[in-house]
Amino acid sequence: MYFSNKTIFYHDIEYKSDSYDYQYFLNLNLHLPDKSDSWASKRKRDYLVGRFCAREAFKQVSVFDTSHFQLIKNEDGTSNWPTGFCGSITHTKDYACAVIAQSNKILSIGIDCEYKIKDKTFQRVKKSIASDSEINIVNKFTQDEQLALTLIFSAKESVYKAVFPLVKTFFYFEAFQIDTINQNYIEGFLTKDLNQNFSMGKKVKIQYKITNQRVNTLVLITS
């Protein structure tokens, strides 16, 4: 995943989309949820490869026994992380990653991975993802509007995935405004009150890496 931080543990995997089917991961003692019978094979595989990455990440934690590890999904769509830990999972057509941390060091984690938005999609989704000012800020650094929009989308996804478990309130992309970018970080602020600890104006920092038209973003909430 290319991020260096001593407080997190992660595992990622790159694979060809036709290299594994979901049965491969079932054979590794990973389980699908009860309501997965109607899922397409790809959705089953994506679900399981994320759980595989999470289990491999937990293997790096000396105090954690992974022999019976299963990560179930809550009713609100979040993962039910083991007591004392937080984490986040992301996957694309050929890449998956899970990041975990002990919750006495990190309150919540959000990760996301996206491939560069295609030409035909750019204009259709642009207004729903970012303001003109956000695109201008990020594009001055990327020199590529499609890549800028992809980075903004991924950053806001990571913010949502990190913040939602703490506020339990759904919010949309316009609730977070990007105002700064440098070589390693994006920063922005909440534009609305979500709860007492996440009120309008609260700053959030997003780490990012761009590699071969793929964007990875990471948010670590510590307070």
Assigned fold of 112-221: Ribosomal Protein L22; Chain A (3.90.470)
The mean pLDDT value for 199-207 works out to: 98
Long-range pairs for 177-181: beta carbons < 8 A, 24 or more residues apart: 177/131, 177/134, 178/130, 178/134, 178/137, 178/138, 178/152, 179/137, 180/137, 181/137, 181/138, 181/140, 181/141
- Sheet strand arrangement including 95-102: 9-14, 95-102, 85-91
Most confident of 2-6, 117-121, 201-205: 201-205
Longest CA–CA span in the chain (Å) reads 49
**pLDDT value at position 75?**
87
pLDDT at 179 over 70: yes
* Among candidate residues 81, 65, 105, 134, the one with its CA nearest the CA of residue 220: 105
In CATH, what class is 9-105? alpha beta
- The predicted-structure confidence for 66-100, as pLDDT tens digits, reads as follows 888 889 888 888 999 999 999 999 999 889 999 99
- The predicted-structure confidence for 154-173, as pLDDT tens digits, reads as follows 999 999 999 999 999 999 99
2: confidence class by pLDDT, cuts 50, 70, 90: low
Q: Where in the chain is the domain with CATH 3.90.470.20?
A: 9-105, 112-221
Determine how many CB atoms are found less than 10 A away from the CB of residue 217.
27
- The predicted-structure confidence for 16-49, as pLDDT tens digits, reads as follows 777 778 888 888 889 998 888 899 988 999 999 9
- The predicted-structure confidence for 47-68, as pLDDT tens digits, reads as follows 999 999 999 999 999 778 888 8
**pLDDT value at position 77?**
86
The percentage of residues in the chain with a pLDDT greater than 90, rounded to a whole number, is: 71
Work out the mean pLDDT of the chain and round it to a whole number.
Answer: 92
The mean pLDDT value for 188-217 works out to: 96
**pLDDT value at position 4?**
67
> For the chain, first and last CA: distance in Å?
24
